[in-house]
Amino acid sequence: MTRAPAQAEELEKLSVEAIIERLLAEHPSAGSRGALCLTCSFQAEDMIVLDLLRQRLPQVPVLFLDTGYHFPETYAYRDRMVKAWNLNLHNLTAKQSVADQEAQFGILNQTDPGRCCHLRKVEPLFAALENFDVWFTGLRREQSPTRRNLKVLEHHELPSGKKLLKVSPLAAWTWEQVWKYTAENQIEYLPLYDFGYRSIGCEPCTAVPSLGADARSGRWGGRKLECGIHTESKRADG
């Protein structure tokens, strides 16, 4: 599974289609064995990577973190796209329901969003990733200062010691490229974008960013920029 860093650098120069082709060629059994997955919050970037992957692997596992706090529009869009694209959706949930968590801890997204994200996102995702060797994402460097050093191909290690490849084919893409691809390929998008949202997660922690600010500056009221799913696994390649 391990690639030499020099080979990883080559991927940075390839088109998004060529990156996906290369990864699939090097992991020919990933699709059939289900060892390859995509995390998908049904944002525009995720839908592009999904569109490209599903053309090659129609039943690619699509991991959605169902926190119980998403916008109604997100749930409705998820359900429409699952039906329209016949997706192999893995709906990941926390150990506790929202009601049980709120009864035990109160409204953690107001008092301790780090803990809330850990319980409702990080724990279920990392448990699910134990089953996969290649993890595709829709992350882009431009989204946030915390993503400036993102590489197309990274080696990651989960807290359990499980190692996997994390692949972000859109790492170098701009916001304009995202919407060009979406329009040219006539991909239906989450309607909340039409109201000015640029990074869409759980409803209580998502706001429209100010003009000119980073896309993710509208998340968590500026208190933090990441939920932990992309920062709590360890980069194993420096």
Residue 21: exposed, middle, or buried by beta-carbon count in 10 A (0-12, 13-18, 19+)?
A: middle
Question: For ligand SF4, which stretch binds (CB under 6 A), given 5-13, 26-34, 110-118, 151-159?
Answer: 110-118
Residue that the structure tokens 């915390």 belong to: 146
The least CB distance from residue 198 to ligand SF4, in Å, is 16
Nearer to ligand SF4, 88 or 93 (CB): 93
**Residue 40 bears catalytic tag:** no
The CA distance from 179 to 48, in Å, is 10
Specify the DSSP class assigned to residue 170: T
Extended strands (E) in the chain: 36-39, 61-65, 88-92, 134-136, 153-157, 163-167, 234-235
**Binding of residue 78 to ligand SF4 (CB under 6 A):** no
Q: Specify whether the CB–CB gap between 167 and 136 falls below 8 A.
A: yes
Per-residue binder mask for ligand SF4 (CB under 6 A), 177-206, x = binder: ------------------------xx-xx-
Q: Specify whether the CB–CB gap between 94 and 100 falls below 8 A.
A: no
Residue nearest ligand SF4, CB atom distance: 202
Chosen residue from 16, 38, 62, 116 binding ligand SF4 by CB under 6 A: 116
Chosen residue from 109, 182, 199, 233 binding ligand SF4 by CB under 6 A: 109
The least CB distance from residue 119 to ligand SF4, in Å, is 7
Which are the catalytic amino acids? 227
